[in-house]
Amino acid sequence: MITHISSRDVRYPIGSGHGSDAIHKDPVYSYAVTLLTDDKGRTGSGLAFTLGEGNDLVCKAAEFYAARLQGRCIEEIMANFGALQKEMADEQQFRWLGPHKGVVQLALASVTNACWDLWAKTRGLPLWKLLLELTPAQVAATLDLSYLEDVLTHEQAIELLTNPTASRADREGILTSGYPGYDTSVGWFNYSDEQVRENCKRAIDAGFTAMKLKVGSKDPERDLRRARIVREVAGPDARIMVDANQQWTLPQALDICARLKEINPFWIEEPTHPDDIIGHKTLADAIAPVKLALGEHVPNRIIFKNYLQVECAGFIQVDAVRVAGVSEFLAVSIMCKKFGVPVVPHVGDMGQLHQHLVLFNHIGLDLPAVFLEHIPHLREHFVNPVRVEDGVYRTPQDIGASCDLI
């Protein structure tokens, strides 16, 4: 039974140009943390990611949501969590502040993730293993599929979860070999050209074969120059992604993305405003076969549904500390399975939670194991930081979702 509820407003100024992009020039990586403690002394820790100011507002909203869990058993909560999550999302006093976006959605992410962490700890399992041990019907019961019924019903979700079970053994080798990673830290926006060059060399030496460069400069020539540096150092076979963090208008994106094609990017990420679905479709058609990667700044499953419907996303970057937690992440992943689009999460959690989720997506859903973003700047703050060796994530063995902060 959950006996104590609290929240933490945790902020980490990064400095030295780390974490910088075209929008966030001096980021303060922050977590709104929900803590759910039961009568056995176990504490579920749930994260939502912000960039500093306003983190306290997310904590306050999370406390409001979490209060309804007081005195309840986590097994009872998770047996029909989808209905409970919908009930919380429909809270009449908060719905005008959303719905399904902004502070209240981040708060729901924090509470949802705390529930999943406590459930895994109660079962004595790493989250990835808990997910794989649940039946398709049990997984589906944790999902709020409202507003998705035109493309994904409850019955279809169960079918999509059931179909891959017969071939699971073919994909379980990844638990031993490790999940591929890619290095986001070679080309933060504020890094000098020489830093970018040296970081590319270090990434290659560390075993990475894929890396990302931040773009979106006021002068497009700076972006092109730095992109050429990454391609030159990494070589022709490396997968290079460029990320504009929503900086460009559609006319700018059409021009600059066409010019970036010279470096053969694996994807172009977040080129323009995340709500501009038709704009993304226009851009995707214009720059094909180069693909767009979309989702870091998308707050809910409905926008992801629209991206998939208009076929503008080559990769979906749903983030479980940005949407309404693990449950909405899974709902989006199941949609992606239906539409045949890979899930390559953004990792506002620094990969702590997502290392579990991508293992489930690959083994349990038979989604391709493309790779998972690696950002090392907060590892000293986690009780069980991710282990990345030779460019791959090593499978976490500690119980829970790896989100406990020191």
- By the 10 Å C-beta count (0-12 exposed, 13-18 middle, 19+ buried), 124 is classed as exposed
Strand blocks (E) in 137-223: 179-187, 210-214
Q: How many CB atoms are located within 10 Å of the residue 52 CB?
A: 14
User: Is 60 annotated in the active site?
Assistant: no
* Residue among 55, 30, 17, 49 at smallest CA distance from 297: 49
State how far Cα 211 lies from the chain centre.
17
Would you call 346 a catalytic residue per the annotation? Answer: yes
Angle between helices 354-365 and 154-162 (to 10 degrees): 80
Check: CB of residue 82 under 8 Å from CB of residue 89. Answer: no
The amino acid at 316: I
What's the rounded Cα separation, in Å, for the pair 127 and 315? 24
The number of angstroms, rounded, from the C-alpha of 91 to the middle of its chain's C-alpha atoms is: 25
- Residue pair 55/78 in contact (Cβ under 8 Å)? The answer is no
Q: Which of 24, 121, 129, 214 is catalytic?
A: 214
Instruction: Characterise 38 by phi-psi region: left (phi > 0), alpha (psi -120 to 50), beta (else).
Output: beta
**Which positions are annotated as active-site residues?**
214, 346
